[in-house]
Structure 1
Amino acid sequence: MKGLIVCAGKGTRLRPFTLTRPKTLLPVANKPILFYAIEKLAAEGIHEIGIVIHPSQEKMIRGAAGSGERFGVSLTYLYQQEPRGIADAVAAAEDYIGQSDFILLLGDNLIKEPLKTLIDLLKHSAACILLNHVENPQQFGVAEINETRIISLEEKPRFPKSNLAVVGSYAFKAGIFNYFRALTVSERGELEITDAIQRLIDSGERVAYAITRERCSDVGTSERWLAANSWMMDELYGGKSEIAEESTLVNCTVQAPVAIGPGCALKNCTIGPYVSVMSGARLEECHLAHSILLRNVTISGTGEEVIAGIFGDEASITGTSVKGPIALKIGGDQG
């Protein structure tokens, strides 16, 4: 069995943060989202993994993940020349996958459910999809189920037949590419993976499903990114904090969980809960909660008022002066 991770999207809803790095390299709990997907596949003994990227992303993604040696896997980079949908990205991997069964993950999704759930169900099905109950099914691919199988799929329906959303984790038997080749462009201008799977269903093949009760996040907006950062910090740190030895804190209050990377200097600050700081931050006389700080952020002189949000590389708040890529909320309910 092989793994496939789709990473070629532009991440337009996360601009300006995705202007300087691919969405799948945005950090959650100070680790790129992509790394969680690679580690999840490796945990199931899947050591051959293809990563579908746009050529413009290659330098950064290959630079971050390398050949896969650090994860104990072999990474092969594949190319989607234009962002024409998930199905088009999967089709770009046909030669790489060959006759292997494979697990498909979306590189901007975080899913706690073990992949073994899908792998086990695939033994008796042509495909298996992970589903989750959601409050806003109109924003997802939606499944209609009958007993142990899926009977229909629809992408972002106006009138959903259920609240069971496809959450970005799939298992396929070899041969699925026959259905991808037959696709035509949808009304959204994309080749939809839900259409490919619907063709599989219509041909009489069994498509199984698992409904996860575990946490999962589609990191597609600033709000979802912050939410994913919070629950992942709970998972990783369990109410504790992780502070790099190379960083210094002077007269600071830390409200766990907090993650602070190397080369940071904090003075007279209250930090947390749910604050992750990548590296090189300079923080003084401020109060941060529910925040993500990328590299070399400067915040000073904001006093006791709580600041919550996302701070891009080189962003700064000095008193009332605000510079750089920032999505923040000052004061009020920080959730």
Structure 2
Amino acid sequence: MKALVLAGGSGTRLRPITYTSAKQLVPVANKPVLFYGLESLAEAGITETGIVVGDTHAEIEAAVGDGSAFGLKVTYLRQEKPLGLAHAVLIARDYLGADDFVMYLGDNFIVGGIGDIVARFAETRPAAQIMLTRVSDPRQFGVAEVDAAGRVVRLEEKPSEPKSDLALVGVYLFTPAVHEAVTDIKPSGRGELEITEAIQWLLDGGHRVESTLISGYWKDTGNVADMLEVNRLVLESLEPRVDGDVDPASELIGRVAVERGAVVTRSRIVGPAVIGADARIADSYIGPFTSIATGCSVEHSEIEYSIVLPRASISGVGRIEASLIGHDVEVTPAPNTPKAHRLVLGDHSKVQISS
């Protein structure tokens, strides 16, 4: 069995971060989301992996390399435009050949891995195997309708009036039967080849489609709130360690990891929290569920329930919480006078300013 990992897409819901970074490489607990997916594939015994990339291909390829760091053999497949999940299968036809494969969305996070579902699929070999989970707002997802026996009868992409609360999780398993489906379907009203329509094509043609309802944790890390929630979840299992330098005037409480080269002085860190390699924390408070990445600097500040990306600097500000702070960002206090806000913001930013 092969794997097809989707690592293209523009990541509009994570703007402005994704103007300069691939959404799949935004880290949780100081590790890119994409890496968790690649590790899941290796743990499931899958080694041959095709990664579909788009405009951010150079960044993805530099981070993943040949895949050997994950126990994988990676082939990169270029998708010129994000024209849908089924389009990704279409352009990967030559690579996939006659093999069964698992398609994994690179910005999805699943606790517990996919080993069990891969083993089940290999044993029973339906034309498609999908994973479902109950969500509060299914209008944001592909939605499955099932009958009284739990069999999938219909799928719809982002319906305005969902027939159920069962959303498709971003992991799909297919036999080669799907290739005829993606070739035959037409672009949707969004101008994309929808994988839900390809699976519906299989259903309409009498092919067997199996589903598994997962009760564990799953997130599509497409927005800031979900990124912070996944960061919280991963940090819950953090193993405390101190490989850097923490002075006697500092206090570490709970599960705190201080990476090699990091320096903590006159500060209080309450875990779970991770301080990345070569970071500098001075005269500050780092609260629970916070990831400070490599090379960051936090001085005379407080931050909690946040993700800070590499080389960001936070100095002399009050409390920061529930924030995603990008690469090489500088956060400093505004002048006391005149009383005004001075902002440099990317497109689609959201800012909250007290009156």
TM range (shorter): over 0.9
**Counterpart of 2:194?**
192
How do 1:69-84 residues align onto structure 2 when only pairs under 5 Å count? 69-84=68-83
1:206 aligns with 2:169: no
Cα distance in structure 2, aligned partners of 1:28 and 1:330 = 26
Tell whether the 8 Å contact from 2:2 to 2:96 is kept in structure 1 after alignment: yes
Which structure 1 residue ranges, 5 or more long, are not aligned? Answer: none
1:226 corresponds to which of 228, 244, 254: 228
**Counterpart of 1:160?**
162
How do 1:125-274 residues align onto structure 2 when only pairs under 5 Å count? 125-146=126-147, 147-237=149-239, 240-274=255-289
Identical-pair percentage: 39
Cα distance in structure 1, aligned partners of 2:4 and 2:178 = 14
Once structures 1 and 2 are overlaid, which stretch shifts more, 305-314 or 163-172?
Answer: 305-314
Cα distance in structure 2, aligned partners of 1:252 and 1:13 = 34
Q: How many pairs does the alignment contain?
A: 329
Tell whether the 8 Å contact from 1:50 to 1:75 is kept in structure 2 after alignment: yes
Tell whether the 8 Å contact from 1:131 to 1:164 is kept in structure 2 after alignment: yes
SS in 1 for 2:309: strand
1:27 aligns with 2:42: no
Tell whether the 8 Å contact from 2:141 to 2:157 is kept in structure 1 after alignment: yes
Cα distance in structure 1, aligned partners of 2:276 and 2:344 = 22
Tell whether the 8 Å contact from 1:51 to 1:78 is kept in structure 2 after alignment: yes
SS in 2 for 1:295: coil
Residue deviations 1:56-100, cap 9 Å, x none? 322111110000111111000001111111111121111111111
Shift of 1:174: 2.1
**Counterpart of 2:301?**
286
**Counterpart of 2:60?**
61
SS in 2 for 1:229: helix
- The amino acid of 1:214's aligned partner reads G
Cα distance in structure 2, aligned partners of 1:210 and 1:117 = 11
TM-score of the two chains, using structure 2 as the length reference = 0.88
Taking a change above 3 Å as real, the CA distance of residues 329 and 294 of structure 1, as seen in their structure-2 partners, is farther
Residue deviations 1:170-211, cap 9 Å, x none? 111122111000110101111100000000011111111111
Which structure 2 residue ranges, 5 or more long, are not aligned? Answer: 241-253, 336-342
Tell whether the 8 Å contact from 1:315 to 1:324 is kept in structure 2 after alignment: no
Cα distance in structure 2, aligned partners of 1:187 and 1:242 = 48
Aligned-residue Cα RMSD (Å) equals: 1.9
Shift of 1:306: 4.2
SS in 2 for 1:220: coil
Cα distance in structure 1, aligned partners of 2:280 and 2:15 = 27
Cα distance in structure 1, aligned partners of 2:67 and 2:96 = 17
**Counterpart of 2:331?**
317
